[in-house]
Amino acid sequence: MASQPASARTGRARPDAPDGSRKDTVQSVERAVEVLGVLQSQAGALTVQDVAARAGLDRTVVHRLLKTLAHHDLAVEERGTFRLGPQTILLGHRYVESLLVRRLALPYLIELQAHGIADEPWTANLSVPAGGLLVVVERIWTSTTPLDVVLSAGDVLPMASTAAGRAILAYYTPEQRQATLGPGELAQAEAALAQTRDAGGIGLSRREAVPGVEAVAAAILSRCGIPVAAIAVSGVDLGDQLNADSSLAHKLRRAAHSIGQMLS
């Protein structure tokens, strides 16, 4: 079976015109983005042939793109294989540092850690959507939290099976959900998303995304009603707090609302 292009795996829709061409884009740049997407999706280094197969591009084209990316430290070549380069760290770090929602949410995460979860072995975290994925951009945990369940900044999780992802998806239009997840994954996620909408946007995850980890989340909506992030609490045993009507869920909903009111 042929591999899907990187854009299909990440849920990014391509701006195709009715005649199949893409207007207002540069093909070589689009291909470079596809290649970077393949490298990002793999933990280890890949050969040129591996990248070409996953991106759905010609091997010669991919070789030239990888050499160019390596020249600019966006990729690193090691004995004929390639992985992401150090410049991607700088780009990603700059993006995270520029996120207004992260700066606004940090005091609320600290408040949750101090008074919402206290000494429980849980983590308060903030995530933002990136296509069909969810990226953790901030987290705070207690001294009793097992380190093997603490999410790291930059961790990537699937949207449809996480509490934060479900909270965000619940506020997407049907067309946005279709474009983000695709018809197959959307069909599997519809029941959980319906429950999230019925719960007023409180997303729940019962070990579906990370083995043994439960989570409660609330979407952060801008004043225009656009879901830009989600604030969540996760842990190995949330007990009776794993409920849309729990005190923890209410704290998250209030925090999300307050943060959103500061976003235009």
The domain locations on the chain are: 6-87, 99-260
Closest residue by Cα to residue 235 from 117, 84, 131: 117
Give the mean pLDDT of 8-23: 45
- Each residue of 89-132: pLDDT tens digit? 899 888 888 899 999 999 999 999 888 887 888 999 999 999 88
pLDDT at 4 over 80: no
Q: What is the pLDDT of residue 212?
A: 86
Give the mean pLDDT of 136-163: 84
Q: In whole angstroms, what separates CA 50 from the centre of its chain?
A: 24
Give the Cα separation of 52 and 46 in Å (integer).
10
Confidence at 22, pLDDT banded by 50, 70, 90: low
The DSSP element (H or E) to which 81 belongs, if any, is strand 81-84
Residue, of 193 and 155, whose pLDDT is higher: 193
Residue, of 47 and 142, whose pLDDT is higher: 47
- Each residue of 196-239: pLDDT tens digit? 999 989 999 998 888 889 999 999 999 999 999 999 999 988 99
Mean pLDDT of the chain, nearest integer: 88
CATH class for the region spanning 99-260: alpha beta
Q: Which residues have a Cβ under 8 Å from the Cβ of 174 and sit 6 or more positions away? A: none
pLDDT at 181 over 90: yes
Cα torsion through 240, 226, 188, 1, rounded to 10: -130
Give the Cα separation of 158 and 11 in Å (integer).
11
Name the fold adopted by 6-87.
Arc Repressor Mutant, subunit A (1.10.10)
